[in-house]
Amino acid sequence: MDRPGAKTHNYVRTLALVLGLIAVAMILASGPGTRAGWWDWKTGLGMVKWSFYVGAAAVVVGTALLLLHAFPRYRSHLWIPLTAIVCGLVAAIPPFYLLHLAGSVPPIHDVTTDFVDPPAFVFLAEIRRKSDNGLDYGGDAIAAQQKKAYPQIKPLIVKAPPKDAVQGAIDAARSCGWEVMSSDAPAGRIEATDTTAWFGFKDDIVIRVRPEGGGSRVDVRSVSRVGDSDLGANAARVKKFLSKMS
């Protein structure tokens, strides 16, 4: 005959382990599945969100089981609650970090060095127009949020003439890992696309080079195709490009 509560204890142990494994499976599948087109980006982000809740539940149940090991009759299979806790933490920490990051940056997805006359997409215009975030710049409201959060993002003045600056911009874009989609040296415009590592999100960049004094002025604009907030990705991308051009 089973000891009192043994069956319930076994069920709870199984539940904790299953919750932990499901949470890890969701967080691991969220990005690759989105990249592969198995589900849309909203589903992928939803999996990240739910991996936090399921992972947190696994940690709570696993911790409760671990505390029960203070009683001799519940001291078997210690590995089960420990595994549930580890799996739960592995699944819950990434979305917790993303949530913290989302609260530390403005909810924008369009970053530019020129608020008055943002570099315009031409080659990628139709793709941008069909994307969730569209083609047009958000205006003063977006500019105000960017100025407050990223005051260091400004146009870059280089000594090179426009022709050389365009080639330098192309080289810098490629060194950033972007796919250069179009380059128009006479117009001083380069358009590129960057693919994010985990979800495979496509973000578009347009670089504009104009004469400035004896050198050139380089402006950059980086825009996400989907999502309200980019978690700071576009600002980081612009900064990286400008540092390579400096």
Q: What is the pLDDT of residue 37?
A: 95
CA distances from 236 to 31, 95, 105, 112 (A): 20, 20, 11, 11
CA distances from 6 to 11, 60, 72, 198 (A): 9, 20, 12, 42
Q: What is the pLDDT of residue 1?
A: 39
Q: What is the pLDDT of residue 70?
A: 77
Q: What is the pLDDT of residue 5?
A: 65
pTM as predicted: 0.89
The whole-angstrom separation of Cα 222 and Cα 230 is 10
pLDDT digits 0-9 by tens, 78-118? 899 999 999 999 999 999 999 999 999 999 999 999 999 99
Q: What is the pLDDT of residue 225?
A: 98
Judge whether 239 and 153 are in contact, CB under 8 Å: yes
Mean pLDDT within 71-82: 82
Q: What is the mean pLDDT of the chain?
A: 94
Q: What is the pLDDT of residue 8?
A: 84
pLDDT digits 0-9 by tens, 123-176? 999 999 999 999 999 999 999 999 999 999 999 999 999 999 999 999 999 999
